[in-house]
Chain A
Amino acid sequence: MTTIFGIPLAALFGQLLIGLINGSFYALLSLGLAVIFGLLRVINFAHGAQYMLGAFVAYLLLQYIGIGYWPALIVAPLIVGAFGALVERFLLSRLYNLDPLYGLLFTFGMALAIEGTFRYFYGASGQPYAPPALLTGGTNLGFMFLPNYRGWVVVVSLIVCIGTWLLIEKTKIGSYLRAATENSTLVQSFGINVPMLLTLTYGLGAALAAFAGVLAAPIYQVSPLMGSNIIIVVFAVVVVGGMGSIMGAIITGYVLGVAEGLTKVFYPEASNIVVFVIMAIVLLLRPAGLFGRDG
């Protein structure tokens, strides 16, 4: 068997793929967190719950009305995004004039309430969700075996990340968003409806989390705890990338996913903490994060 540094190549590529898959979810989730934090200055602790909701909406759509994976990939983010927009409009928006801690506490409380509700009905164990028929099976790449669904997750999450980045950096609505992030009062005085922009942004962030949730359903199973399992790592990703930096969140998501995967190959004992070790080092050397702007 081919080896590199005494590690079988197949194992290396296998872990690299797992790292890329995890990285895809880190990137999608930290992207939404960064967009929300940039404009609303709210640390959205409900992000994990919104990811879990996305997976559960897909599961429930299939269970009760027979709507499958492909429509769910659109419908679940729309439902969770609309729910997020309502929450922002009627609850979160009342906290903007208070200490930022209130936004954090509110979203944390909301996450506990949502997860608690689903735990009450579905317990802590996962519900199976089959990958779509089109993407079952795998492809032999010569050096490794790639399950088709996992390949799809890596590709589609990359597309969604780049699409979101383009939306924010290259479009008119994106320029409103960037300007409002810098000085929302002045943007309002120009006649732009910033409160509406805040609602849409929170909705977009929640929808991105739900999209990641639907993507994750066939890989990790649908469990009420899936959000709280991943969200702590995602917060570390956002801290490493720099709060509010869109491209920083995306790149850091993939890089840390891969770093985690590689650690599993070379020093498995450290794989669960490597992200946090990197976070500690970055905080020491560059407190604003790798891509963050100071101040």
Chain B
Amino acid sequence: MKPFLEIADLHAWYGESHVLHGVNMTVGEGEMVTILGRNGVGKTTTLRTIIGILRERRGRIVLGGKDMMDVPLHRTAHHGIGFVPEERGIFSTLTVEENLMLPPVVASGGMSLDEIFELFPNLHERRSSPGTKLSGGEQQMLAMARILRTGVRVLLLDEPTEGLAPVIVQRIGEVLKKLKERGMTVLLVEQNFRFASKIADRFYLMDHGQIVGTFPVSELPDQMGMLNKVLGV
């Protein structure tokens, strides 16, 4: 598979503290890749560094052949990459509809409002409520929906199932499968290993700010011993 997102020797710092120590990974076009690892090993930081929120960084980030290191944060999305943060980032002073319409469309091929409301009927019903009046699951749907409208081709998703009821987790799984059918490239950080094993094509294992292993979903049974050791599950 042709790599669409390439990360090479990526280092990042929070002030004095050196948190990523040379991350290497590639994500193929249309591939769904999950980063696994214990708390605090740098999974979220990896996503924040790729999108460019964390600016103290060194190394290589190439998206669709374009070097992203010098692209300012407010231009990054225009190269076709979107980020859904762990805390979801729904704005309380905006209605559901305003939240949904906030990110500018950066490329054609995004979902239309009709498609989004078909996929997430709750959002249509509650479109004039303040964004943060939604339930946690609905907020997660809204956070994903507003990025899907923009036409980005790469989605960075940080722990979309965290703190949600099993039935909502299942819904999110269905949505991600639909996105895969549409050819969306997804880099996912997920603690819910069972959830990730059902949707991901491939896994990266992260420890101490570095990638320590990668394997496709087909090798998952053989890797369980090593996973148990690294993840401590």
Which of these, A175, A178, A186, A191, contacts B89 with CB under 8 Å? Answer: A186
A190 to B90, CA, bound (A): 13
Which of these, A183, A185, A191, contacts B104 with CB under 8 Å? Answer: A191
**Does A187 lie at the interface of the complex (its beta carbon under 8 Å from any beta carbon of B)?**
yes
- Tally chain A residues at the interface, Cβ within 8 Å: 19
The interface bits of chain B over 42-59 (1 if a CB of A lies within 8 angstroms of the residue's CB, else 0) are: 000000000111000000
Do A191 and B85 touch across chains, with their CB atoms under 8 A apart?
Answer: no
Do B91 and A179 touch across chains, with their CB atoms under 8 A apart?
Answer: yes
Closest to A182 in B: B91
Residues facing B in A192-241 (CB within 8 A) are: 192-195
Do A190 and B53 touch across chains, with their CB atoms under 8 A apart?
Answer: no
- Tally chain B residues at the interface, Cβ within 8 Å: 25
Do B74 and A178 touch across chains, with their CB atoms under 8 A apart?
Answer: no
A179 to B75, CA, bound (A): 18
**Does A189 lie at the interface of the complex (its beta carbon under 8 Å from any beta carbon of B)?**
yes
Contacts of A178 in B (CB 8 A): 91, 93-94
Do A189 and B52 touch across chains, with their CB atoms under 8 A apart?
Answer: yes
Contacts of B98 in A (CB 8 A): 175
Q: How far is the CB of B61 from chain A (nearest CB, A)?
A: 14
Do B93 and A190 touch across chains, with their CB atoms under 8 A apart?
Answer: no
Contacts of B150 in A (CB 8 A): 190-191
**Does B128 lie at the interface of the complex (its beta carbon under 8 Å from any beta carbon of A)?**
no
**Does B203 lie at the interface of the complex (its beta carbon under 8 Å from any beta carbon of A)?**
no
A176 to B94, CA, bound (A): 9
Do A189 and B77 touch across chains, with their CB atoms under 8 A apart?
Answer: yes
Given contacts A188-B73, A189-B76, 12 further A-B contacts (CB under 8 A): A178-B93, A179-B94, A181-B93, A183-B91, A186-B89, A189-B51, A191-B77, A191-B78, A191-B103, A191-B106, A192-B102, A192-B103
Chain B interface residues (CB < 8 Å from chain A): 51-53, 73-78, 82-83, 85, 89, 91-94, 98-99, 101-104, 106, 150
